[in-house]
Amino acid sequence: MGQTNKQLKRIGIVAGGPSERLVHLADYEIDYWIGCDRGALYLLNSNINPNLAIGDFDSVDEKELEVIKSSAKNIQIHPIEKDLTDLELGINAALKLNAESLSLFGVTGGRIDHELNSLFLLERLIDTGLKVKIIDQQNTVSMYHPGRYQVDRSELYPKISFLPLTKQVTGLNLTHFYYPLIDQTINRGESLTLSNHLIEQIGHFSFNSGILIVIKSSEQSD
């Protein structure tokens, strides 16, 4: 594969969501790129040769598939009738590598069933110990088990929202935020923890129980 597993610290997976939601992929420091179906073509359009192209490739035409076959370092073609989505195939391939972080691109803005499934995949992945993040042009999405965490201020994604994936998250503390919290219980569906922002370069959040989704967003729209 050109790199040993020991060197693969950062893996990027690109799925086939709407291209207008993609960030500039070449701007990201990734050690190993996986293109899922049309995501492999998105990588090639960004002058990145996928380390692995995987999927049933039903969203590309024959000419595009030939380009992918000739440019990807490895390719795995699966039947259209299968139990796993192309994204899940890519994630399973990534989990076999010795990575520290996993960044998911091209998984938002398309079919809502695929978008929701991508979000639920984060819940599965946080149990692996990987640092996992969904990234698009307007948002980054991460998910956390109880604990204490650091968050850095971003000019690109200045708004920060905290949403429970579980019915409830207890003991939420926010420090160095414009709207700080101390030992707050938040319930799924409430808006108390939407659209906060940091007042320092670095902030912290912690909580005691539940699963917490952290979304950083840009100012493009509310």
d(CA 75, CA 51): 8
Contact of 156 with 138, CB cutoff 8 Å: no
What is the reported pLDDT for 220? 64
Backbone angles phi, psi at 7, to 5 degrees: -90, -10
Read off the DSSP letter of residue 118: H
CB 218 within 8 A of CB 162: no
Q: What is the CATH number of domain 143-217?
A: 3.40.50.10240
Superfamily of domain 5-137: Thiamin pyrophosphokinase, catalytic domain (3.40.50.10240)
Instruction: Considering the chain, tell me which residue range(s) the CATH 3.40.50.10240 domain(s) occupy.
Output: 5-137, 143-217
Nearest to 193 by CA among 222, 214, 211: 214
pLDDT range class, residue 222, cuts 50, 70, 90: very low
- For the stretch 34-59, what's the b/e string if a residue is b when 16 or more beta carbons lie within 10 angstroms of its beta carbon? bbbbbbbbbbbebebebbbbbbbbee
State the pLDDT at residue 112: 84
Q: Considering only CA atoms, which of 8, 29, 23, 14 is closest in space to residue 72?
A: 14
Measure the CA–CA gap between 168 and 135, rounded to whole angstroms.
Answer: 25
Model confidence over 51-106: pLDDT tens digits? 999 999 999 999 999 999 999 999 999 998 888 889 999 999 999 998 889 999 99
Mean local confidence (pLDDT), 151-167? 94
pLDDT for 6: 54
Distances (CA, A) of 176 to 37, 68, 179, 192, 198: 42, 46, 8, 17, 6
Tens digit of pLDDT for each residue in 141-150?
Answer: 999 999 999 9
Give residue-wise pLDDT tens across range 7-53.
Answer: 668 999 999 989 999 999 999 999 999 999 999 999 999 999 999 99
**Is there a contact between 164 and 192 (Cβ–Cβ < 8 Å)?**
no
- Residue 213 near residue 191, CB atoms below 8 Å: no
